[in-house]
Amino acid sequence: MENHRGKRILYVVLAGLAIVALAAAGVLLTREPGPVDRPGPVASEAPPAREEPGPPAEAGAAPETSGDAILIGGIMDTTGATSDVGKDYALGMEEAFAWVNENGGINGKPVKYVWFDYGYRVPEAVAKYQLLKRMGASVIMGWGTGDTEALSSTVNKDRIPYVSASYSAHLTDPSRSRYNIFFAPDYSSAARACLTAWFETRWAKHPDYGKRPPRLMCAYMFTQPYCSSPIRALKDQAKLLGFQVGDDQDVSLFALDAKAQVGEMMRFKPDAVWHGNTTMSVGATIRDARAMGLAADFLVNTWGFDENLPRQAGESAQGVMGVTPCGFFGQDFPNMDRVTAQAARYNPGIPSSRRLIRSVQAWADALITVEAIRRAQAAGDLSGQGILTKGFETLKSFDFGLGAAPVTFTQKDHRPTSLVLVQEYAGGKFNPVATVDLAERWPGKWAREWLGW
């Protein structure tokens, strides 16, 4: 009797667990991870010197959805440590692929864009990558430096082009990272150019110019690969230009108070401070620095310099100089009208005044990806290797507008450009300061020394 009763209880428990498992499976099977059917512009044949994208085939006509859509995956951060810049990037990526599908797709084929939020956690990014691989993604649009570098050997083995929002110089040497691609100046090149622009436009006018070396300090989160990525190159450039460099200051990506670090800066009295974090902690540091009387100029890496900086730092943002891989949202550059119009149409609930340069950066990565796929498809090879070798690595001075430099990729060098646009915030708006061409200024170092670090 006891034995039969025990068996009945066991059966009830097992049945209950089965029901729960089936319900969970139903939720997973019906949950949309974020798929969107959409691609970017299709380019015409390029002129000899500079390639520019032309109108899509049968512009205005949606591509036929015959089941042979090109699947592009996405791994984004909309909830994690860099979501202050990641949310707008994710919006821009969706809008860009939507625009492409609405304008003929890629040679008539639609793009199915499926993305996941990974919360800026490397293990989660690896898991999402494996899922997108099993789904058959032709290309994956990635995000952060830590996860992109962690996946680099895997995407190379799998031969899946990985187009990231990480611009780490470690990803630009094809002998180590053949399948890593991005449109922007790498972080190391950007840091070199920003320091050079400050040296030539600000320090050259300083009363102490020619009397003593300028003093530089760096503030960033030591343990985050994005933040630390360009520091070696930056200090190398500082040595080249004759700077005196003080001790680095560890500032968290989550920092809302940086008074302790600013106190250390006050003792060294830097003329310039490089900040390598994202916008939130950059704004907090600049506010504290100005409140405590630090007179240094702030130079900011790509992901810490956007339209939210003056909102967070207020008047303290005046004079801040930063790296801009493309134009700010709505800034007067070719094809920017596509970005702003699509944002208003696709996400009307978000006013244009709240949109960021991050959307433009997403469009830039989407556009070079679409052009690479278009060329590979024309060559009859839509494998990952085909998209890389017959697509990306055939781009030569490819100009897609948006204030970005034309991009070139070769089998031996995946640095997309040697041109770096540096801007400053002054008079209530962002203004170009200089475009530094590192290959022109230091041709030997660019060609033989600076690749990959």
DSSP secondary structure of 255-305: -S--HHHHHHHHHH--SEEEE-S-HHHHHHHHHHHHHTT--PEEEE-GGG-
- The answer to whether position 30 is within a domain reads no
Residue 412 falls inside a structural domain: no
Residues with Cβ within 8 Å of residue 419, at least 6 apart in sequence = 185, 405, 435, 436, 437
What mean pLDDT value characterizes the chain? 89
Place 5 in a pLDDT band, splitting at 50, 70 and 90: very low
Q: pLDDT at position 25, please?
A: 40
Q: Are residues 202 and 280 in the same domain?
A: yes
Q: Is residue 110 part of a domain?
A: yes
Alpha-carbon torsion, ordered 355, 298, 143, 43, to 10 deg: 60
52 and 144 inside one domain: yes
What are the strands, taking DSSP E only, across 308-381?
A: 321-324
User: Is residue 7 over pLDDT 50?
Assistant: no
125 neighbors 143 (Cβ within 8 angstroms)? yes
Asked whether residue 20 carries a pLDDT value surpassing 70, the answer given is: no
pLDDT tens-digit map of 53-83: 544 443 333 333 345 899 999 999 999 999 9
Same domain, 58 and 137: yes
**Ramachandran angles phi, psi of 329, nearest 5°:** -55, 120
- The reported pLDDT for the residue numbered 66 is 44
- Residues 275 and 363 grouped into a single domain: no
The pLDDT-based confidence of 167 (bands split at 50, 70, 90) is very high
| pLDDT for position 51 | 58
Question: Which pLDDT does position 353 carry in this prediction?
Answer: 94
| CB atoms closer than 10 angstroms to residue 295 | 10
Domain contains 250: yes
A 10 A CB-CB count for 205 gives 8
As a whole-number percent, the residues of the chain with pLDDT over 90 amount to 85
Question: Both 398 and 443 in a single domain?
Answer: no
**How far is the C-alpha of 410 from the C-alpha of 25, rounded, in Å?**
45
| Residues 343, 443 share a domain | no
Summarize pLDDT for 278-302 with one digit per residue, the tens. Answer: 999 999 999 999 999 999 999 999 9
Q: Please write the tens of the pLDDT for every residue from 200-253.
A: 999 999 999 999 999 999 999 999 999 999 999 999 999 999 999 999 999 999
Residue 417 belongs to some domain of the structure: no
Token pair for 294 = 């630090």
436 versus 59: which is more confidently predicted? 436
Q: Which tokens go with 429?
A: 């708006």
Query: Under DSSP, is residue 95 helix (H, G, I), strand (E, B) or coil?
Result: helix
Quick one: average pLDDT of 308-315?
A: 96
The predicted model gives 395-410 an average pLDDT of 98
Unique residue bearing structure tokens 């085939």: 57
Amino acid 255 reads: A
Residue ranges making up the domain that contains 250: 188-324+423-448
Together in a domain, 354 and 319: no
* Residue 196 maps to a domain: yes
Asked if 40 and 84 sit in the same domain, the reply is yes
Q: Are residues 44 and 180 in the same domain?
A: yes
Looking at the structure, do residues 261 and 283 belong to the same domain, yes or no? yes
User: How high is the pLDDT of residue 68?
Assistant: 86
**pLDDT at 437 > cutoff 70:** yes
Tokens linked to 152: 């680099």
Question: Do the domain assignments include residue 100?
Answer: yes
Give the relative orientation of helices 122-135 and 145-158 as an angle to the nearest 10 degrees. Answer: 30
Determine contact, residues 408/181, Cβ cutoff 8 Å: no
Q: How many domains does the chain have?
A: 2
User: Is 104 found in the same domain as 218?
Assistant: no
Show the CA angle centred on residue 303, arms to residues 298 and 304, nearest 5°: 35
Q: What is the pLDDT of residue 331?
A: 95
Indicate whether 436 pLDDT > 90.
yes
- Residue 304 belongs to some domain of the structure: yes
Locate tokens 């630390």: which residue?
A: 228
Residue 237 has what pLDDT? 98
What's the mean pLDDT in 128-152?
97
CA distance 376 to 394: 9
**Residue 33 pLDDT greater than 60, yes or no:** no
Are both 105 and 242 inside the same structural domain? no
User: Mean pLDDT across the stretch 398-409?
Assistant: 98
- For residue 139, what is the enclosing H or E element? strand 139-141
Q: Quick one: pLDDT at residue 53?
A: 55
Q: 431: exposed, middle or buried (C-beta count within 10 Å: 0-12, 13-18, 19+)?
A: exposed
Q: Give the CATH number for residue 336.
A: 3.40.50.2300
> What is the C-alpha to C-alpha distance for residues 310 and 296, in angstroms, rounded to an integer?
17
Q: What is the pTM of this model?
A: 0.85
